[in-house]
Structure 1
Amino acid sequence: MATVASLSFPAITQSSPERKIASRNLLSDSNAFKLPTTFSLHSISFRASNPNSNSRFVVHCMSSTTSDPPPPVAETKLKFLNAYKRPIPSIYNTVLQELIVQQHLMKYKKTYRYDAVFALGFVTVYDQLMDGYPSEDDREAIFQAYIKALNEDPQQYRADAQKLEAWARAQNAASLVDFSSKTGEVEDILKDIAERAGGNGSFSYSRFFAVGLFRLLELSNATDPTILEKLCAALNINKKSVDRDLDVYRNLLSKLVQAKELLKEYVEREKKKREERTEPQKANEAVKSYLAENLYTRK
């Protein structure tokens, strides 16, 4: 799996030209992580994609998990912003806001049901996105705020992702696909997914699920392209959908690398400019100090 380049930088203001370039490049081809709307982080409202329209609307979804109506997207976003109030560098925040909207819509579908492969996919995407974040503690705090805003358990996400990763490392291409003939906690999870996806229960395929499958293949060193096809067949998942979403995921990682490199160059230029501005000040201070010392000596 591609790894996002690690770098550290301070928050960039909305007005910086590099920020606009980075965000544009990052999201232009990533349709799976982009919604046909724009939103305001301050008003927590949605605006129609038509720039000449002043109408606002609230997205509602149907859910079978509760008798209460599902919350609007704006409420989920507000919960996230209230839980983590520190500024987030724009390159991270742009994608995080896109993801939380998308995951809200997944969560409140009638067919949604949490599963460990979905959790592994989201954790994989999140860790790749936040790789190189200035503070490791803040990175985890943002994760906690994000999952809790969706009324889910961040500890469960982490625990299930680690469980599946440990299991996958102990597998090979053959044993990974042959989960249905074996017993074990992870095998039972995969059997349950296969049964529900086959029509015997609620199952909602998602892009995070596709990334979770990819992560299982990666950790088990199942590099043969036919293994993904066999695994999808065993799980009753449409492989064409998985292929499409994995292409978008790889493209997202590539765009993240490009955007972070642009931002890194911007930060380095700004740092150099600040250093250049301080040089004359230091020279003036040295001259003043020299003159003061000599005048004092002469007196």
Structure 2
Amino acid sequence: MSAALTVSDSKRAFRRAFPHVIAPLYRRMVDELLVELHLLSRQRGFEANPLFACGLIQVFDGFAKGYRPDGHKAALLAALCSATGFDAEALRREAEASRNAMGNHTVEEVKGWIEHQGEGAPEPLASALASIRRPDFHYSRLMAVGLLSLLEEARGADAMDPATLRSYAQELAAAIGLMRERVDKDLSLYATNLEKLAQAVALMEETVAAERRKRERQQAGLTDAPAGSMAELKAESAPEAETAPPPSSATADAPTAH
């Protein structure tokens, strides 16, 4: 990606690639991820390795849960990546291959690979861990999330609670030369934001469901009401319409919306 491109350039490219309305609940996530990817693409020491791929896919899939329409999610990720010089399909393939490789090994085996900078680990994870030793290595919080997501796929990880597994990831990050405090902060913030979004999505879905049930009850009531009852209801409401008070001055003087 050209170093001359600005965040505004990336945002314009994103809007061209994804010309759809994004619900307010997801707009902040999209904006922050777009800016983050733009900045990473300009870092000379940054490498889109499997840790980054796993982290990006984990973050996007986690925060895009409940996104509607569901069919737009793949296009949304593709637009975020193409606008910042990345390939969404290649990153997802790399993330899936890395996670699948973890499923055949225990947490202790994965720990050993990480502590020895990838020695004995399957590719492409071995190269990713070895790259951390480069003098120009550039850390991203997506790599911390990627490390956690790989641990979650290892055999035995499902027996650990999320807090324990997160602590485990922090220890391993320190073992390979990453700043433990930074990784701790990034993983804690990720978990907190993901929980908040999950609660917001659940509330939104319940509100939509409640409105749907209300409309269905109202429709059922109109359908089941006998013709005589409907006529009586209209007759009873007619006098009220005739004697209804005039609109208040505030309403009457309000300008018409254009």
Instruction: Work out whether the TM-score is over 0.5.
Output: yes
The letter for the 1-side match of 2:126 is: D
Q: After superposing the two structures, state which structure 1 stretch, 124-133 or 246-255, moved more.
A: 124-133
* Distance in 2 between residues matched to 1:97 and 1:267, nearest whole Å: 25
Between the aligned partners of 1:113 and 1:187, the Cα distance in structure 2 is 13
Match of 1:80 among 14, 22, 25: 14
Q: Which one of 120, 142, 150 corresponds to residue 84 of structure 2?
A: 150
In 1, distance between residues paired with 2:171 and 2:206? 44
Gaps of 5+ in 2: 232-258
Q: Which amino acid aligns with 1:254?
A: E
Deviation sequence 1:233-283 (CA, Å, 0-9, x none): 442212221111111011011111121122223323443554466568768
Question: Which has the greater radius of gyration?
Answer: 2
Establish whether residue 98 from structure 1 lines up as the match of residue 32 from structure 2. Answer: yes
Q: Is the 8 A contact 1:177 1:230 kept in 2?
A: no
Does the 8 Å contact 1:70/1:108 carry over to 2? no
Greater relative contact order (Cα < 8 A, sep 6+): 1
Q: 1:256 to 1:230 in 2, by over 3 A?
A: closer
Which residue number corresponds to residue 179 of structure 2? 238
Contact 2:7 2:38 in 1 (8 A): yes
Following TM superposition, by how much is the alpha carbon of 1:181 offset from its aligned partner in structure 2, in angstroms?
3.2
Who is 1:34 aligned against?
Answer: none
How far apart are 1:131 and its partner, in Å?
Answer: 1.9
Figure out how many residues of one structure are paired with residues of the other and give that number. 220
Residue 192 of structure 1: CA displacement?
Answer: 2.6
Pair 1:120 & 2:58 matched: no
Cα distance change, pair 136–189 in 1 and its aligned pair in 2 (3 A): farther
Instruction: Find the counterpart in structure 1 of residue 142 from structure 2.
Output: 208
Aligned counterparts of 2:220 and 2:108: Cα–Cα separation in 1? 65
1:219-234 equivalence runs, <5 A: 219-220=153-154, 221-222=156-157, 223=160, 227-234=168-175
Mean Cα deviation higher: 223-232 or 253-262 = 223-232
2:42 corresponding residue in structure 1: 108
Give, in whole Å, the separation in 1 of the partners of 2:33 and 2:190. 12
Map 1:189-200 to 2 at 5 A.
Answer: 189-196=127-134, 199=135
Match of 1:260 among 188, 201, 205: 201
> 2-side partners of 1:283 and 1:170: how far apart?
60
* Distance in 1 between residues matched to 2:54 and 2:124, nearest whole Å: 12
CA-based RMSD of the aligned residues comes to 2.9
* Structure 1 Cα separation of the partners of residues 168 and 63 of structure 2: 27
Structure-2-length-normalised TM-score: 0.73
Give the number of the structure whose residues are more often helix, by fraction. 2
Give distance in 1, aligned partners of 2:109 and 2:9.
43
2:131 counterpart letter in structure 1: I
Q: Secondary structure of 2:132's match?
A: helix
| CA–CA distance in structure 2, aligned partners of residues 229 and 262 of structure 1 | 32
Residue 105 of structure 2 is matched in structure 1 by 171
1: CA distance between counterparts of 2:214 and 2:107?
53
